[in-house]
Amino acid sequence: MSKLHILGIAGTFMGGVAALARELGHAVEGSDQAIYPPMSTQLETLGIAFSQGYLPQNISPDCDEIVVGNALSRGNAAVEAVLDAGRKYTSGAQWLAEHVLPGRDTIAVAGTHGKTTTTTILSYLLEAAGRNPGFLIGGVAEDFGVSARVGGHRRSPSSAPSGHLLPQAGEGNPSLPMATDSPFVVEADEYDTAFFDKRSKFVHYRPLVAILNNLEYDHADIFPDIASIQRQFHHLVRTVPQRGRLIVNGEDERLAEVLAMGCWTPVERFGLQNDVPDASLEWSARLLNEDGSAFAVLHNGNEIGVVRWPMLGRHNVLNGLAALAAANAVGVDIAAVIPALADFRSVKRRLEVIGQAEGVTIYDDFAHHPTAIQTTLQGLRAKVGDARIVVAMEPRSNSMRLGAHSDALAPSLDGADAVVFLHRPELAWDAGKVVAAIRGDARTVADVGALIDALRSLVRDGDHVVFMSNGGFDGAPRRFLAALQKST
């Protein structure tokens, strides 16, 4: 076994790579610029040492290979030291493809939104079916306690079936010929791979089954327009074998355009009843509760079960439907595993309740794209009714900082009664204009201390406060909870 240093180890993807490498017996160390929970907690639990900062001296001389995260670019001190020394390096996606995926049937979960949740639901369903899946999730799954694991035994690549043609939907048993009973589920990101590999990560995975959840414009730092993202999704579609399957959101016109660019794999589409014609959907859901906490699952128009679970929102119904369709594709008895979803606990930082104080419920949420913000708030509104929802927003993603979503941000917050907007100095666009367009009470603050003070002056008994950021938010959710508890 070798010794690895992982640059960017606190990222959700690279932290998962670290966990897999450690489980496979490699010695693992790493470094990152910003290290915060839940990934820092996972690394500490696994006994993986990490250093703060991208400093050349943080990389041990005896490391056999450096795994470089896509957050690092030329000019980074650690990257320059690795290149100058002629040390062996690779990307996280390539390392995964070479060391974990061979001999396994891979299920890739792609899409602008919902990748982490859908990957977690699918892994949970496979676990409930006794399949002992491996997985790499972009977050810490509550039901597994980790973001990644190797899972069941792998077979040699030569034992994988080949040349099988999958019957089209409705032609009998739809399950696929499998290389192993234990598939590997990977969150398949369209973001680029590394400074030396500008392809999307997901082209490395060569899945047997791919979920295409949705497609919107994002990652404005690397994609100039929606067409360039569609081209990357087309590249993913080109890697799925003819004997495999594509599980595609039948409501998404941009995904339909991707398939029109070329498709060589049987497709099964999913969506909500009444949103698209039933005849075009192999998988559909009929809402039984408006908040998405209960829905009937239909396959080719036949009801096969009812999901009752703690998840909220139309978006999570679609995530669950996609996961059920993918599980069915690899031979899982869907009717048998649907009841297990009643106990599903999702992923940390997906509308995660972190506590209550003074009658105020506090949530930590990862939403950072206007569509995700809107659907998350719609789901919460359906649950809490007329209770007040207060949002604390940190626009932290590259697309947010570049202003790519500034026009859509105010409308996405319509579901909130009040918004406190963290306007850090590096935010290059006019946050005041956005805040002025937000319905209801909205204000900007310059730092997290001022944000917590503003929230304390705003909230009252019965409120729901949602912290939204794809970063650490300087620990704001738990700092606010502690402030309320202290004043009790």
Polymer length in residues for the chain: 488
Assign 472 a pLDDT band (cuts: 50, 70, 90): confident
User: Where is average pLDDT lowest: 119-123, 241-245, 311-315?
Assistant: 311-315
- Consecutive H or E run containing 119: helix 115-128
Give the CATH number of the domain where residue 228 resides. 3.40.1190.10
Q: Is the same domain home to 62 and 144?
A: no
Half-sphere exposure in the Cβ direction for 5 (13 Å, CA): 23
Q: Between residues 39 and 48, which one has the greater pLDDT?
A: 48
pLDDT at 219 (0 to 100): 63
Looking at the fold, whether 267 and 134 belong to one and the same domain comes out as yes
Q: Which amino acid is at 99?
A: H
- 371 and 321 both lie in a single domain: no
DSSP state of 81: H
CA distance 188 to 201: 7
Q: Compute the mean pLDDT over every residue in the chain, rounded to the nearest whole number.
A: 87
Query: Per-residue pLDDT for 418 more than 70?
Result: yes
Q: At which of 320, 343, 366 does a domain end?
A: 343
Cα–Cα distance between 109 and 414 in angstroms, integer? 29
Tokens of 131: 């399949």
Of 37-46, 111-120, 288-297, the poorest mean pLDDT is in 37-46
Neighbouring C-alpha atoms within 13 Å toward the C-beta of 166? 25
What percentage of residues in the chain have a pLDDT greater than 70? 89
Which amino acid, one-letter code, is at 275?
Answer: D
Domain of 463 in residue numbering reads as 352-487
DSSP one-letter string for 354-402: EEEETTEEEEEE---SHHHHHHHHHHHHHHHTTS-EEEEE---SHHHHH
- The answer on 372 and 399 residing in a single domain is yes
Q: Are residues 314 and 297 in the same domain?
A: yes
Beta strands in 288-351 (DSSP E): 294-299, 302-308
Q: Which residues contact 29 (CB under 8 A, 6 or more apart)?
A: 3, 4, 5, 6, 48, 49, 50, 51, 60, 63
**3-class secondary-structure state, position 444:** strand
153 and 293 in a single domain? The answer is: yes
Q: Same domain, yes or no, for 275 and 315?
A: yes
Residues 318 and 405 in one domain: no
Nearby residues of 399 by Cβ (< 8 Å), 6 or more positions away: 218, 219, 220, 221, 369, 405
> What per-residue confidence (pLDDT) applies to 155?
44
If asked whether residues 331 and 420 sit together in one domain, one would say no
Q: Quick one: pLDDT at residue 405?
A: 55
Q: What pLDDT score was predicted for residue 413?
A: 87
Q: Please tell me the predicted confidence (pLDDT) of residue 165.
A: 29
The whole-angstrom separation of Cα 480 and Cα 238 is 47
Query: What CATH number is attached to the domain comprising 483?
Result: 3.90.190.20
Q: How far apart are CA 50 and CA 119, in angstroms?
A: 27
Model pLDDT, residue 269? 97
Judgement on whether residues 326 and 374 belong to the same structural domain of the protein: no
Task: Give the model's confidence band at 98: pLDDT under 50 very low, under 70 low, under 90 confident, else very high.
Answer: very high
pLDDT above 50: residue 320: yes
**Is the pLDDT at 167 greater than 60, yes or no?**
no
Residues 91 and 104 in one domain: no
Residues 275 and 406 in one domain: no
Q: Domain tally for the chain? A: 3
Q: Which of 46, 80, 96 is the last residue of a domain?
A: 96
Of the residues 81, 96, 111, the one at which a domain ends: 96
Higher per-residue pLDDT: 120 or 488: 120
pTM higher than 0.75 for the full model?
yes
CATH number for the domain harbouring residue 69: 3.40.50.720
